[in-house]
């Protein structure tokens, strides 16, 4: 039920197939982020229509509201959110970074002050695994300690070493839960170590020593470091990662980063950028980012992106989309979010075809000439 095969390579880039209990994912692939059991402004029918194959949800947020027991009573996370395809749940480790002012980290776990009601909540590696098991995702992530991108070496080392200790505890608890029902859920570890090569090597070596994994995630990037530092970290890691495992770069999903990471051997991505940017009026296109609020589009009858097959681009004009945002209409938020997620799914598909055709280098060079041109508005 948890299989990955690399079908074609082009340099470090790969095209493959990931098989999970609820379906098959062709890689490279972008997974929309449904933090609270929903991808903001989009329905599961929307996700199916635009070709989403794997969706992410967040352990911490669903634990806080409505609670994993409530979700279990309503049939588990797949039924709860009416999504019958593969699901991956983040462990809550990212909230160690993003909720810095509302948490205290110790060796046993993390105490959070809930952003919803102020109540104290505690996550340990074991508790994070138990919650994900109750939710019923296809892929559960180990509980990790995420440090900001520019922290000093001792802080980064401390976070990665704690992540390894927590990984061992996560694995023990997951094995105990899955002993009676193998094939229901798999556990993936997360590499930490910031942008320091020696720390990333230590994280990888320690992770591989702790088990035989069905996938591996790269965490702790896109958390404050410069893009060239992120790319250099991937350059260092790529030849050292097990070729047989799918590689998941967590929290990364701007178009230029997705292209660069696929070139460096990454298979899976998630990010809130497409829906967040869409709600703010920014649209991804092959000709760069379009600010739909721009007055230049007031009388423009052309589609947002003529190359795109989504509902937004096949039915509505730039002039109409601008009107929706100027008027504060909710439909505008949905339509640009829909387009941006579809754009990243299409981009991953184009990268997959280029890898299979052996044209990745020329395809990526041509794409960058268009996307990164300075006159994008």
Looking up residue 146, the CATH number of its domain turns out to be 3.20.20.105
Reference 213, options 189, 237, 190, 193; nearest CA is 189
Q: 138, 144, 270, 305: which is the annotated catalytic residue?
A: 270
Residue that finishes a domain, picked among 218, 240, 271: 271
Q: 46, 90, 138, 257: which is the annotated catalytic residue?
A: 90
Report the pLDDT value the prediction gives residue 376, as an integer from 0 to 100: 44
CA distance 41 to 272: 12
**20 located within any domain:** no
Mean pLDDT by runs of 10 across the 377 residues of the chain is: 96 98 98 98 98 97 96 98 98 86 93 89 96 98 92 96 98 97 96 97 98 97 95 98 98 97 98 98 97 98 98 98 98 98 98 98 97 66
Question: Which residues sit opposite 350 in a β-bridge?
Answer: none
Asked if residue 142 and residue 34 are part of one domain, the reply reads yes
Report the pLDDT value the prediction gives residue 101, as an integer from 0 to 100: 86
Task: Give percent of the chain above pLDDT 90.
Answer: 93
Helix (H) or strand (E) holding 344: helix 330-357
Look up 286 and say whether it is catalytic.
no
**162 located within any domain:** yes
**172 located within any domain:** yes
Answer for the pair 279, 336: CB distance below 8 angstroms, yes or no.
Answer: yes
**232 located within any domain:** yes
Asked if residue 94 and residue 199 are part of one domain, the reply reads yes
CA distance 125 to 336: 37
Residue that finishes a domain, picked among 271, 287, 304: 271
The string of DSSP codes covering 275-311 is: HHHHHTTEEEETTEEEETTSGGGTT--SBS-TT--SH
Asked if residue 307 and residue 260 are part of one domain, the reply reads no
**DSSP strands (E only) in 213-287:** 216-218, 247-249, 268-270, 282-285
Answer for the pair 347, 30: CB distance below 8 angstroms, yes or no.
Answer: yes
Which residues, other chains included, contact 62 with Cβ-Cβ below 8 Å and sequence gap of 6+?
36, 37, 68, 71, 77, 89, 131, 135
Asked if residue 201 and residue 66 are part of one domain, the reply reads yes
Asked if residue 347 and residue 230 are part of one domain, the reply reads no
28 preceded by a cis bond (ω within 30 of 0): yes
What residue has token string 């589609």? 303
The string of DSSP codes covering 104-128 is: EE-SS-EEEE-TTT--EEEE-HHHH
Answer for the pair 228, 179: CB distance below 8 angstroms, yes or no.
Answer: no
Which residues, other chains included, contact 83 with Cβ-Cβ below 8 Å and sequence gap of 6+?
34, 44, 47, 55
Angle at 129 between CA 191 and CA 2, to 5 degrees: 70
Asked if residue 101 and residue 54 are part of one domain, the reply reads yes
- Measured in whole angstroms, the distance separating CA 179 from the mean position of its chain's CA atoms is 28
- Strands 216-218, 190-191: parallel, antiparallel or unpaired by DSSP? parallel
Answer for the pair 71, 135: CB distance below 8 angstroms, yes or no.
Answer: yes
Considering its fold, how many domains does the chain have in total?
Answer: 2
Residue 160's SS3 state is: helix
- Measured in whole angstroms, the distance separating CA 187 from the mean position of its chain's CA atoms is 16
Report the pLDDT value the prediction gives residue 377, as an integer from 0 to 100: 40
Which residues, other chains included, contact 232 with Cβ-Cβ below 8 Å and sequence gap of 6+?
195
Asked if residue 325 and residue 267 are part of one domain, the reply reads no
Asked if residue 217 and residue 124 are part of one domain, the reply reads yes
Look up 212 and say whether it is catalytic.
no
Asked if residue 357 and residue 293 are part of one domain, the reply reads yes
Report the pLDDT value the prediction gives residue 1, as an integer from 0 to 100: 82
Q: Which domain holds residue 343?
A: 278-371
137 Rama class: left (phi>0) / alpha (psi -120 to 50) / beta: beta
Asked if residue 181 and residue 72 are part of one domain, the reply reads yes
**16 located within any domain:** no
Asked if residue 224 and residue 114 are part of one domain, the reply reads yes
Tell me 142's DSSP state.
P
Report the pLDDT value the prediction gives residue 224, as an integer from 0 to 100: 92
């Amino acid at each position: 039920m948890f299989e990955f095969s690399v079908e074609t390579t082009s340099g470090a880039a790969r095209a493959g197939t990931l098989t999970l209990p609820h379906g098959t994912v062709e890689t490279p692939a972008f997974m929309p982020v449904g933090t609270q059991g929903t991808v903001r402004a989009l329905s599961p029918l929307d996700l199916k229509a635009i070709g989403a194959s794997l969706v992410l949800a967040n352990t911490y947020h669903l634990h806080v509201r409505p609670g994993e027991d409530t979700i279990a009573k309503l049939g588990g996370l797949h039924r709860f959110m009416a999504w019958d395809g593969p699901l991956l749940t983040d462990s809550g480790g990212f909230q160690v970074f993003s909720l810095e002012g509302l948490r205290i980290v110790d060796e046993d776990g993390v105490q959070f002050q809930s952003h919803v009601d102020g109540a104290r909540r505690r996550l340990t590696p074991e508790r994070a695994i138990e919650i994900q098991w109750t939710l019923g995702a296809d892929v559960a992530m180990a509980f990790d300690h995420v440090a900001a991108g520019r922290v000093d070496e001792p802080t980064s080392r401390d976070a990665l070493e704690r992540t390894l200790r927590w990984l061992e505890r996560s694995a023990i608890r997951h094995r105990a839960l899955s002993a009676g029902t193998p094939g229901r859920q798999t556990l993936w570890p997360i590499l930490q170590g910031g942008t320091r090569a020696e720390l990333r090597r230590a994280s990888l070596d320690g992770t591989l020593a702790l088990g035989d994994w069905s996938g591996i995630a790269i965490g702790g990037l896109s958390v404050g470091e410069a893009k060239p530092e992120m790319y250099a970290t991937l350059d260092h890691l790529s030849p050292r990662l097990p070729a047989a495992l799918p590689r998941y770069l967590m929290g990364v999903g701007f178009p230029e980063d997705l292209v660069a990471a696929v070139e460096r051997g990454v298979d899976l991505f998630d990010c809130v950028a497409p829906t967040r940017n869409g709600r703010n009026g920014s649209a991804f296109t092959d000709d760069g980012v379009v600010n739909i609020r721009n007055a230049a589009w007031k009388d423009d009858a052309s589609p947002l992106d003529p190359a795109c097959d989504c509902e937004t681009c096949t039915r509505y004009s730039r002039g109409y989309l601008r009107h929706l945002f100027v008027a504060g209409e909710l439909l505008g938020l949905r339509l640009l979010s829909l387009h941006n997620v579809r754009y990243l799914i299409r981009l991953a598909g184009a990268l997959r075809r280029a890898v299979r055709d052996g044209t990745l280098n020329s395809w990526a060079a041509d794409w960058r000439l268009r996307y990164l041109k300075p006159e994008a508005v």
